[in-house]
Amino acid sequence: MICNNCGNEVSNQTRFCDKCGSPMVAQTQPLEKKDMETIDNTVILMLSYLGILFFLPLVVCPDSKTGRFHANQGLVLLIASGACSVLILILSAILMAIHWRLWFIGSLLNTALFITWLYMVIYGMKNVKAGEEKPLPYIGDISIIK
């Protein structure tokens, strides 16, 4: 290793330069191309979990396997949450037709759906930040975007 301050050559285990006493900073390894791609697109991949923005990784990094994976997860989450919302709306209408005081059941179901959706979004974004390609719980194995 070479001292950045005085140019003296020192051993790799040395923490301070023998000649000038300045601290030795370890040389970092350059990141691989795949790692750089993931770092550059992290925000875009995170945004793919927010509803209609699922397509962003397909536009920004169309050849990326990671981008396609997270875009697929975002699309599946969008479709599943939309389908559940429609089912809850129908169920709420049926319950309201039975008796108007049953509105709170639909409200509870909507709250549960929102909490579940929020958990899935946070789970997906956490996986993006960690650089992992873990599928979402329950719905992550569905593949629409290949």
- Give domain status of residue 140, yes or no: no
**Domain span at residue 40?**
33-130
Would residue 85 count as lying in a domain?
yes
In this structure, the answer to whether residues 50 and 102 fall within a common structural domain is yes
For residue 83, tell me if it sits in a domain.
Answer: yes
Question: Do 107 and 56 reside in the same domain of the chain?
Answer: yes
Q: Is residue 135 part of a domain?
A: no
Structure tokens at 7: 């140019």
Q: How far is CA 55 from CA 13, 58, 59, 65, 127, in A?
A: 49, 5, 7, 14, 18
Q: Is 23 helix (H, G, I), strand (E, B) or coil?
A: strand
- Provide the residue-wise pLDDT of the chain in tens; the chain has 146 residues: 778 778 788 887 778 888 888 787 765 555 455 555 556 789 999 999 999 999 999 999 888 899 999 999 999 999 999 999 999 999 999 999 999 889 899 999 999 999 999 999 999 999 999 988 999 999 989 999 88
